[in-house]
Structure 1
Amino acid sequence: MKQMTGKKVGEGGCSEVFEWGGEQQIVKMAKANTNVDAVKREFSNSMLVWEKGLPSPRPYEFLEIDGRPSIVMERIQGESLMEHFFRYLMQAPSDNAPSDDETIKITARLLSETHRIDNLPLPPQRDMMIHAIRSASYLTESEKAQVIEHLQGLPLKKQVCHGDPNPGNIMVRGDQAVFIDWMNASTGNPEADLAEYIIMIRYAILPPHTPSSAADRFDLLREYIIEVFCEEYRRLSGVNSLDEVEDWIMPVAARKLCADAISEEEKTLLLAEIRSRL
């Protein structure tokens, strides 16, 4: 018996999300910019991390609906960290440190938990990054070669990495949080995930409908947010220093030039960051 999709409950750069068979499941349907191999990879990645007990929704099946590759998965009843984050930004400005640092710490906690697992049969992080960098039309061939040479010289690790730890990919349910969207998951260096978060906070362009008060507050707090995030990650992971993360800023910024979900303005900022380091 063919099931029908219910109402639309979410949308991202690569997919639309609909109710599926009641309130306990959703179906994530790919947009035209996402091919069947990418969705199959996301399903496989999601199954691996869920079976390992990482904070993620349970995937049920891969299927095609009206020619669109799709994944049926557990529905997380809650709200995104993005919603939490915007409430954080809407707080009245103060000369004191912000009171709701818990919102910032959630991502650090999820990443520290994810990075404790190693050697899952996920795609190799470095191969994925090199492919993305070579596809970055904003860079010259010489610049791509320099970034890739730098990347190849970095130590190689084999820990589970999420690949896209932005607030829209985290759902909060009570006092628990889970990562969604494991399409870019890989086995590699945790420093790449940390660099991804730092770059996102430092250079993100907020949506045009964002209230000016929130945008101004975000600009004032960018480096503070990074500091709180890094300190919480250090505390939970037990590492003494995050100095290695600096080496990953350039290759991660180069990889992000391929992303559909970020603006041209943000890509211009990333390009300037890359070229300042070459």
Structure 2
Amino acid sequence: MSAQDRINLLSRLQSLSNDDRLCHGDFHPGNILGSEAEPFIVDWLDATSGPAQADACRTYLLALHHEPWLADQYLAAYAQASGWPAERILVWLPVVAAARLAENVIDEDSRLLALATKS
């Protein structure tokens, strides 16, 4: 990633909302246990506070690599439930992809870099 890409990402980050909500940080289907009637969410190790849209976008990104259809369904359901348009969630995608790059998930690097540097 170039220095200019980093500057662009930091500028984008500064322009995004800075809400203070409970964020799971690693929400995906493997972290939902129980039944459909009584599900419960586990693995709160990466929990933090911050913008809910960023947390939703990270969930979308995690699903996008393995199950794109699930990512799209999740995004649509989250947008409907939250009342936020999908675009308000996806505006976080370059920033979230760049943060995921720092996790060194080797088989995702090229895809994440493309998403992080997309204007």
TM bucket, shorter chain? 0.7 to 0.9
Distance between the aligned counterparts of 2:118 and 2:81, measured in 1? 32
TM-superposed deviation, 1:271: 0.5
Aligned twin of 2:113: 271
Pairwise mapping of residues 1-278 of structure 1 onto structure 2 (< 5 A)? Answer: 139-173=1-35, 175-204=37-66, 218=67, 222=68, 224-237=69-82, 239-260=83-104, 262=105, 264-277=106-119
Distance between the aligned counterparts of 1:174 and 1:276, measured in 2? 37
TM-score (norm 1): 0.39
Structure 2 residue identity aligned to 1:272: A
Which blocks of at least 5 consecutive residues in structure 1 are unaligned?
1-138, 205-217
TM-superposed deviation, 1:249: 0.1
TM-superposed deviation, 1:253: 0.3
Deviation digits for residues 11-55 of structure 1 (CA, Å, limit 9, x no counterpart) = xxxxxxxxxxxxxxxxxxxxxxxxxxxxxxxxxxxxxxxxxxxxx
Structure 2 residue identity aligned to 1:274: A
Give the alignment's Cα RMSD to 1 decimal.
Answer: 2.2
Q: Is contact 2:24-2:44 (8 Å) kept?
A: yes
Q: 1:240 to 1:270 in 2, by over 3 A?
A: closer
Deviation digits for residues 68-99 of structure 1 (CA, Å, limit 9, x no counterpart) = xxxxxxxxxxxxxxxxxxxxxxxxxxxxxxxx
TM-superposed deviation, 1:153: 1.1
Aligned length: 119
* Identity rate, percent: 24
Q: Which has the higher helix share?
A: 2
Which blocks of at least 5 consecutive residues in structure 2 are unaligned?
none
- Which structure has more RCO (C-alpha within 8 Å, separation ≥ 6)? 2
Bigger radius of gyration: 1
Distance between the aligned counterparts of 1:249 and 1:226, measured in 2? 13
Q: Is contact 1:203-1:270 (8 Å) kept?
A: no
SS at match of 1:244: helix
Q: Which has the higher strand share?
A: 1
Structure 2 residue identity aligned to 1:147: L
Q: 1:174 to 1:243 in 2, by over 3 A?
A: closer
Structure 1 residue identity aligned to 2:70: I
